[in-house]
Structure 1
Amino acid sequence: MDGPHVLVGFDGSPAAGRALRWAATEASLRGAPLRVCHAWNWPYPAGPEGDEALEIVRTMGVITLEDGVRIAREAAPGLDVRPLLSKGTPPAALLAASQDAELIVVGARGAGGFDRLPLGSTAVHVPAHADRPVVVVPSREPARTGRRIVVGIDGSLASQAALRFALREAALWNASVTLVCAWWDPAALPGPDRLPFSDPQGLKEQAKARFAATVAPALAARPEVAVDRRFVLERAGRVLADEARDALLLVVGDRGIGSSPKTLLGAVTRSVLHEAPAPVAVVHDRDPHVEEQS
């Protein structure tokens, strides 16, 4: 598909169905086509005995893809929905098809996942290796009571890209944005666990100043979006998951301050992908689309 579009993976699972409907709404708001991708492959260790068996598996993939296209068109009548059937693993198919995509959307757990597994391999692999925003839609339908988007800010380049993405999404969805800077320092602990010879209040003020400086340029570029700021002494993963309980979307960078450059997904990002009850957008500082769309 030439030109910007929203790309969504669909394998027929309930989580994929929720991701598909979310992606259809997103594509409609963007005024962009939706590409529905289904990856099929021979599912057994031993190869097929002849082309007929392989064709049966491929045909099952075609049927699944047609069902996904139908669901998307029902969710967003009038939307330009285009099918893509790929042979291979779902992560490889989505990454290969994402060259012109503005956004990739996947379900948290696919058809092959265990019932108690909160996150499947595709929902980890695609955000880790993509170079554009990836939204992971949870397996259970979230109980959204408000129209707001939550974004985690720590001053890193990835969190700045996440903020720009969150503000654009808020403008599309007619939502407000809650900025969360979760400041944590062992120096602030009471009792014997507190670090000696430290100035917790001074460190806190420095962190607040970095927070304000980080968000100012992006907020100035989007004055139409209502913004609430939260600066809290709490573990980032925990507070972001709590804040997302009634949110439309939680937005985080792929890795934050202190993460190794070789780390594909930081600890906070991995935590919220597993625990957040809302869809989670993972944004990369190397993503050129975030700059172009701001």
Structure 2
Amino acid sequence: MVALSRAQRPNILFGYDGTEENESALRWAVEESRLRELDLVMCHCWHWPYPPGHVDAAVEAIVQRAGENLLREGARKARDLGPGGKVSTLLRREPVTETLVDESDDAELIVVGSHERYRLLNASTAVQLPARTHRPVIAVRGGGAPRGLIVAGVDGSAGGDAALGFAIEEAALRDSDLRVVYGAWEPGAVPDFELPLFTDKDRLFEVRTAMLDEAVRPWRRRYPEVAVRVS
């Protein structure tokens, strides 16, 4: 593990729901906290599923206490796993995505689980969150599959460069290799002046490889210990 070459925001923000599938995301969030030496904020959201005119205060209090107990147990698990800083909890009576976006200003990154089998894909927090926050989002699938190299997709944009920077930081922290991929093989994906490239595959490959090398060069200088391949 290496030290990062820039200042970080103070915490890792983790969306916790207490399910078995979410345990992989919990372990990942704690590991990010440990690798980056940052605090971990565990956030759980609950809601009253009925219209405002149908509130039962006693039952509502029970639901809230259940959320508090769930968070308390989750924080205990996180501390047992050995984070890199203190563990704090946040309980909100709000939708998950909105809450994580609102709480992300101090987050270096956000970790969520990607299971959510009971929800439609377009309603998934793991799908909505990256489109609505300016912070990196890691959606962790369950199963504990072995980890390999890190892959970053770039397109020449500022957002692509930010993704590349995050990917190479992760590779440095995790002692992993990095593969950087550029894929723009449709004429509609490039400016008009580059359209002639699509009649010459060899020239297209040459130009895009040069662009990739240029994009990667400053990051290679910053993290020379990371093995980077481009394609």
Q: TM-score, normalised by structure 1?
A: 0.66
CA RMSD between the two structures? 2.4
| Identity over aligned pairs, percent | 41
Cα distance, 1:185 vs. partner? 4.5
Structure 2 residues without counterparts, runs of 5 or longer: 1-8, 188-195
Cα distance, 1:61 vs. partner? 0.9
d(CA) in 2 for partners of 1:40, 1:66: 15
Query: Quick one: which amino acid aligns to residue 160 of structure 2?
Result: S
Cα distance, 1:119 vs. partner? 7.5
Partner residue of 1:125? Answer: 128
Partner residue of 2:146? Answer: 144
Query: Quick one: which amino acid aligns to residue 88 of structure 2?
Result: R
d(CA) in 2 for partners of 1:203, 1:49: 62
d(CA) in 2 for partners of 1:145, 1:22: 12
Partner residue of 1:291? Answer: none
Partner residue of 1:5? Answer: 11
d(CA) in 2 for partners of 1:73, 1:47: 40
The question of 1:158 aligning with 2:193 is answered no
Per residue, is there more helix in 1 or in 2? 2
Which deviations, in whole Å up to 9, do the C-alpha atoms of 1:190-248 show, x marking residues without a partner?
A: xxxxx9x922222222222212222112222211212222x2xxxxxxxxxxxxxxxxx
Query: Quick one: which amino acid aligns to residue 11 of structure 2?
Result: H
8 A contact 2:178–2:227 mirrored in 1: yes
1:101 to 88, 96, 107: 107
The question of 1:19 aligning with 2:25 is answered yes
8 A contact 1:17–1:68 mirrored in 2: no
d(CA) in 1 for partners of 2:36, 2:133: 20
SS in 2 for 1:15: coil
Distance 1:185 1:162, change over 3 A: same
Query: Quick one: which amino acid aligns to residue 125 of structure 1?
Result: Q
Which deviations, in whole Å up to 9, do the C-alpha atoms of 1:83-135 show, x marking residues without a partner?
A: 1111111111111111111111111134xx428x6785211121110111111
d(CA) in 2 for partners of 1:226, 1:101: 28
Partner residue of 2:44? Answer: 38
Query: Quick one: which amino acid aligns to residue 66 of structure 2?
Result: M
d(CA) in 1 for partners of 2:122, 2:139: 9
d(CA) in 2 for partners of 1:14, 1:21: 12
Distance 1:145 1:88, change over 3 A: closer
Partner residue of 2:137? Answer: 134
SS in 1 for 2:105: coil
2:118 to 109, 114, 118: 114
SS in 2 for 1:21: helix
Cα distance, 1:19 vs. partner? 1.0
Query: Quick one: which amino acid aligns to residue 129 of structure 1?
Result: R
Q: TM-score, normalised by structure 2?
A: 0.83
SS in 2 for 1:43: coil
SS in 1 for 2:67: helix
8 A contact 1:15–1:137 mirrored in 2: no
Alignment of 1:270-289 (within 5 A): none
Which deviations, in whole Å up to 9, do the C-alpha atoms of 1:169-200 show, x marking residues without a partner?
A: 112112221222235257xxxxxxxx9x9222
d(CA) in 1 for partners of 2:96, 2:53: 19
8 A contact 1:108–1:119 mirrored in 2: no
Alignment of 1:48-197 (within 5 A): 48-76=54-82, 79-110=85-116, 113-114=117-118, 121-138=124-141, 140-144=142-146, 146=148, 148-185=149-186
Partner residue of 2:221? Answer: 220
Query: Quick one: which amino acid aligns to residue 71 of structure 1?
Result: K
Distance 1:23 1:120, change over 3 A: farther
Which deviations, in whole Å up to 9, do the C-alpha atoms of 1:124-154 show, x marking residues without a partner?
A: 121110111111111x3242153x2211122
How many residue pairs are counted as aligned between the two chains?
214
8 A contact 1:9–1:16 mirrored in 2: no
d(CA) in 1 for partners of 2:90, 2:101: 13
